[in-house]
Amino acid sequence: MRLGPDNIVAVVLAFMSFFCGLGGAKNASEPVYTIGTLTIAGTGCPPNTVEAVTSSDATGVSVIFSAFQASTDGTRTRQRQSCNIAVPIQAHPGQSIGLFKVDYRGYVYVPNIPEASASFSSEYFFAGQTGIKVKRKFNPGDEQDIFESNSINFQSIIWSPCGGSTNFRINTAIAAVKPVNSHEDVLIMIDSADSTVKGSIQVAVATRECVV
């Protein structure tokens, strides 16, 4: 079992552009939106435990966590941790940004005892719009790397306002539960020991030309 707050958590918001719509394709190296300063809050990402790094072309963001995990511990039979991220996005004139895929990676350990469990839930959306929700429960005996992939077809993509600014939000919560304080502990984390793609949240977006 892998343990510990010493593990470094990498959340990679990989904004991959897929250009579509009328008016012709654009050069994939030409960004059509910019990313502002992230706002991060929650019990799973307290002050001084999060580092955000923006790529040189402002089309990618890496958010490094050092404390986003939930676990039982001795007499503590339940813990829930949350982390909410707001990413300001400014679409260039005549462009709209859409969300179509989010991959979640991490690790969970639930001892093989009755009523022990862990859970993961997340929602991603543009501010003011209905989002996509992901939920998963882990049962006694589960010990595994977490990989959740959520994608939608092109017709269902959630699009931002044309040429406007908006916040892209990811709200994530994890929880660990055991029945009594004498039992072995439960652990769940969005984790990465090496700060690479393993142990991450990857978000893919589409872009299209539009008319205000």
Average pLDDT across the chain, whole number: 74
Strand pairing category for 19-20 and 201-209: parallel
Location of structure tokens 């993961």: 120
The pLDDT of residue 78: 96
- Does residue 105 sit within a domain? yes
Indicate whether 24 pLDDT > 50.
no
Higher pLDDT, 87 or 60: 87
Q: Rounded to whole angstroms, how far apart are CA atoms 141 and 117?
A: 9
The pLDDT of residue 74: 84
- Does residue 4 sit within a domain? no
- Does residue 191 sit within a domain? yes
The pLDDT of residue 20: 38
What's the pLDDT band for 190 if we cut at 50, 70, 90?
A: confident
67 φ/ψ angles, rounded to the nearest 5 degrees: -145, 15
- Does residue 46 sit within a domain? yes
- Does residue 2 sit within a domain? no
- Does residue 53 sit within a domain? yes
- Does residue 14 sit within a domain? yes
Indicate whether 91 pLDDT > 60.
yes
Q: Rounded to whole angstroms, how far apart are CA atoms 52 and 65?
A: 9
Find the domain containing 51 and state its range.
9-209
The pLDDT of residue 17: 40
Lowest-pLDDT choice from 22-26, 158-162, 168-172: 22-26
On the CB side of 128, CA atoms within 13 Å amount to 6
Looking at the structure of the chain, the number of domains it has is 1
Neighbouring CB atoms inside 10 A of 180's CB total 10
**Whose CA is closest to 105, among 5, 15, 4, 195?**
195
Per-residue pLDDT tens digits for 58-69: 445 556 667 889
Cα–Cα distance list, 193 to 100, 122, 189 (Å): 28, 22, 11
Are the C-beta atoms of residues 97 and 82 closer than 8 Å to each other?
no
- Does residue 3 sit within a domain? no
Per-residue pLDDT tens digits for 136-166: 999 999 999 988 776 666 666 777 888 888 8
Contacts of 155 (CB under 8 A, 6+ apart): none
Is pTM beyond 0.85 here? no
Indicate whether 102 pLDDT > 80.
no
